[in-house]
Amino acid sequence: MINWRTDLEFLTEFGLFVAKAVTLVVALLVVLSALISAAQKGKGEQEPEGELRVKRLNDVYRKLHESVRAKMLGAQARKAWEKQQKKQHKAEQKEEKKKANLKSEDPEPRDKPRVFVLDFDGDIKASETDSLRKCITAVLGVADSERDEVVVRLESGGGMVHSYGLAAAQLDRIRVKGLSLTVCVDKVAASGGYMMACVADRIVASPFAILGSIGVVAQLPNFHRLLKKNDVDVEILTAGEHKRTLTVFGENTEKGRKKFQEDLEDTHVLFKDYVGERRPGLDVSAVATGDIWFGRRALEVNLIDEIKTSDEYLIEACERADVISINYRHKKSLPEKLGLAASGALEHTVMRLLSVFRNQKIQ
């Protein structure tokens, strides 16, 4: 029989001890980060720039297949097979090096087209837009509009209108250059995420990916009655009739609410027009209700063009093209690294505590 009181007391005391320890570590890291940041600013150092990372996915998938195949062979057969593979890879590298060293005014034409793979994992502010912009600029400088393709693995539940409007405009640059654009959605492309996805010539989604949510929402709390109850006045001065419609602390009026709603409706119209222009075969009026659809249902209403995961699409692409992944990553400064370390430690501690408590309940 388990003494639940003792167990809970132990967990509570242990949790408090860990929380105090983590709090102390986080506080020390914050102070250290602030000191380092101040020292860097004092020296006039610039923020670290990022770097472009290029990876050939054909090699990545081939190594995965070879790894499984090697494990399935016996010891002698695996040794002979690995020796053969090394010899073959060496010959391929020698041939590639030979081609790279050829200097001619009329370079040898490429055997295969190229598929450039970009990634976008969107938050509410579409923070990765700057990295996406740099990747697109790099691709447009080398891509052949007649042969090459761009694939964007997109994951986003949407966010700020202006932020996602800019992100979608970056994808529009690809279409303007005449390059084929495919968007792959494995989990979600809703609201602003779908605004980006609809730019593509083709949208591919997994069976239970979430798509749609073509609508606009805004909400804000209002503390006017609470402040008024405590005799607190808030002065809001504006120049311009509609400079402020709804506010957090002031008294909201029906006129202000009406104007705010009109702005939302206008934004919704712009959203629908944007989607309709890029997917002319879509009945926008039927899907622009703010509803979401899972992959198979999204295919039925023409929000997407095919049911397939990004892995399936890219592995198939490797058979016909050189598939190249391009990512731009900002180099993190020391204060940022320390902050991430503290955040990771806190998250790990909380998850461990929840896991321990859950296991105790199961027993």
Q: Tell me the CATH number at 302.
A: 3.90.226.10
Kind of pairing, strands 188-190 and 292-294? unpaired
d(CA 310, CA 171): 18
CA distances from 4 to 1, 38, 137, 357, 360 (A): 9, 50, 61, 11, 9
27 with 154, same domain: the answer is no
297 with 269, same domain: the answer is no
Residue keyed to tokens 């934004």: 267
Predicted confidence at residue 305, as pLDDT, reads 97
Q: Which residues does the annotation mark as catalytic?
A: 191, 243
- Is 101 inside any structural domain? no
CA distances from 349 to 31, 191, 254 (A): 21, 34, 48
How many Cβ atoms from other residues are within 10 Å of residue 289's Cβ? 11
Partners of 118 in the beta sheet?
Answer: 152
User: How many independent structural domains does the chain possess?
Assistant: 3
3-state secondary structure of 355: helix
201 with 138, same domain: the answer is yes
- Is 104 inside any structural domain? no
pTM of the entire structure?
Answer: 0.74
Q: Are 213 and 190 in contact (CB under 8 A)?
A: yes
d(CA 293, CA 275): 16
269 with 123, same domain: the answer is no
Phi and psi at residue 205, in whole multiples of 5°? -140, 150
Q: Return the sign of the alpha-carbon dihedral for residues 91, 92, 94, 95.
A: positive
- Is 99 inside any structural domain? no
300 with 209, same domain: the answer is yes
209 with 230, same domain: the answer is no
185 with 319, same domain: the answer is yes
CA distances from 230 to 227, 233, 235, 248 (A): 5, 9, 15, 16
121 with 239, same domain: the answer is no
229 with 206, same domain: the answer is no
3-state secondary structure of 204: strand
Phi and psi at residue 121, in whole multiples of 5°? -115, 100
Half-sphere exposure of 336 (CA within 13 A, CB side): 7
- At what angle are helices 57-72 and 310-318 packed, to 10 degrees? 90
203 with 326, same domain: the answer is yes
84 with 209, same domain: the answer is yes
Single-letter amino acid code for the residue at 224: H
- Is 98 inside any structural domain? no
Q: Are 101 and 107 in contact (CB under 8 A)?
A: no
Angle (CA) 180-301-307 rounded to 5° is: 55
For 134, the token pair is 């740099």
Partners of 306 in the beta sheet?
Answer: 204
d(CA 78, CA 76): 5
d(CA 279, CA 303): 8
Ordered per-residue pLDDT tens for the chain, 363 residues: 445 445 556 556 666 666 666 677 667 766 666 666 666 555 555 545 788 999 999 989 988 887 887 777 777 777 777 777 777 777 767 766 665 565 444 444 557 899 999 999 999 999 999 999 999 999 999 999 999 999 999 999 999 999 999 999 999 999 999 999 999 999 999 999 999 999 999 999 999 999 999 999 888 898 888 888 888 888 888 888 888 888 888 888 898 889 989 999 999 999 999 999 999 999 999 999 999 999 999 999 999 999 999 999 999 999 999 999 999 987 666 555 555 565 666 566 666 655 655 555 445
- Is 242 inside any structural domain? yes
Q: Are 204 and 185 in contact (CB under 8 A)?
A: yes
Residue keyed to tokens 């198939």: 316
The runs of H, that is alpha helices, within the chain are: 4-42, 57-72, 75-101, 129-140, 161-176, 192-197, 224-229, 254-278, 284-287, 295-300, 310-318, 334-362
Task: Round the CA-based radius of gyration of the chain to a whole number and report it.
Answer: 27
Q: Whole domain around residue 246: which residue ranges? A: 217-282
Residue keyed to tokens 């090096």: 97
- Nearest of 151, 157, 268 to residue 212 by alpha carbon: 157
Single-letter amino acid code for the residue at 250: G
- Is 300 inside any structural domain? yes
244 with 118, same domain: the answer is no
- Is 41 inside any structural domain? yes
- Is 230 inside any structural domain? yes
